[in-house]
Amino acid sequence: MSFFIREDPLTGSRRIIASVRSRRPHVLKEVVEEEPFQCPFCPGNESLTPREFFRVEGNSGWLVRVIPNKFPAIPHMHDVVVDSPDHRADIESIPHLDKLLWTYKERLVHYYNQEGVKYVLAFRNRGKKAGASIPHPHSQILALPFYPKRFLEEKARYERENRNILGEFLRKELELQERVLSVSKNFVILMAYAPTTPYEVWIVPKDQISSFVFENRFEELAQILRETVSLLKNFLGEGLSYNITFQSAPPWDRDYHYYVRILPRVSVIGGFELGTENIIISVAPEEAAMELRAVKYAGQTELK
């Protein structure tokens, strides 16, 4: 058993890493059986959704639709993005994933041009354990009239230390190579140092880009997301529930380094976590990296 306490380099949040082999998350092999229902996100059922804001057209119908969320967290500020016409698709099987990422950027730009908007989060919930109420692949864009807690904590550190905290952290991680999964032309893919969920992966641009609004390397990022989600599913199970979040600054704030998180939902939050706001993680990130690299090099999936 390994036991240590770790601080997230960006927020200062503490994590208890108590890695016990027998407490490893169970590999979920089952694919969730769905009850038949009329899916509002499937082609042909467009009239079941509110009038769309935006769509990406393909050769035979739409590829991506952006519609208002029927149950918005904040009215008029909350999009649902239908990721694909294919009800059964997921990140690794969406051929136009680059266009989906471009759509996120377009919607971020749209909301950041609205008066009163301070912060916009693009995120994706996949599977019931990740909060997805509809199985059809979709994402969400939520605009806020305030800065969220995590961003404020990160910004306080950036300002106090007056340096690019994530950039420096990335350099150290690349030297250590303990948690790095792979490196592409412009991005580093690594296990989170002080994760919020076991097997949390970060995708970090090598250069300091403050906001996803300034991103344009969508094909490269799409390929990384496909390969990383495939790898996690190969290891944790095809039925894996997970979240993806885009941690990005508003365009007017350049002192930040954006990154993408993939958070597999293989554990539940209990009373300890709620009572302390600290999290116990049952798999050390460096052990998770070793396990995932072993799957990768076993040839089950190719990370370039």
Task: List residues near Zn ion by CB under 5 A.
Answer: 39, 41-42, 87, 136
Q: Of 34 and 168, which has the nearer Cβ to Zn ion?
A: 34
Beta pairing, strands 61-68 & 54-58: antiparallel
Question: Least Å distance between CB 21 and Zn ion?
Answer: 39
Question: How many angstroms separate the CA atoms of 264 and 301, rounded?
Answer: 18
Any bridge partners for residue 191, and if so which? Answer: 201
Name the residue number minimizing CB distance to Zn ion.
39
Spatial distance between the Cα atoms of 47 and 37, rounded to a whole number of angstroms = 15
Rounded distance between C-alpha atoms, residue 42 and residue 36, angstroms = 13
Least spacing, CB of residue 36 vs Zn ion, in Å: 11
Shortest gap between Cβ of 31 and Zn ion (angstroms)? Answer: 16
Q: Which is nearer to Zn ion, 22 or 38 (CB)?
A: 38
- Pick between residue 79 and residue 227 the one whose CB is nearest to Zn ion: 79
Nearer to Zn ion, 41 or 259 (CB): 41
What minimum distance in Å lies between the beta carbon of 71 and Zn ion?
18
Element containing residue 218 per DSSP (H, E):
helix 218-236
Closest to Zn ion by CB, 64 or 108: 64
On whether the CB atoms of residues 163 and 139 are closer than 8 A, the answer is no
Q: How far is the CB of 105 from Zn ion (least distance, A)?
A: 24
Please give the structure tokens belonging to residue 286: 């460096």
State the minimum distance, in angstroms, from the CB of residue 136 to Zn ion.
3
Q: Which two tokens stand for residue 271?
A: 């009373």
How far apart CA 155 and CA 215 sit, in angstroms, is: 20
How far is Cα 65 from Cα 37, in angstroms, rounded to an integer? 20
* Residue 34 vs 302, nearer CB to Zn ion: 34
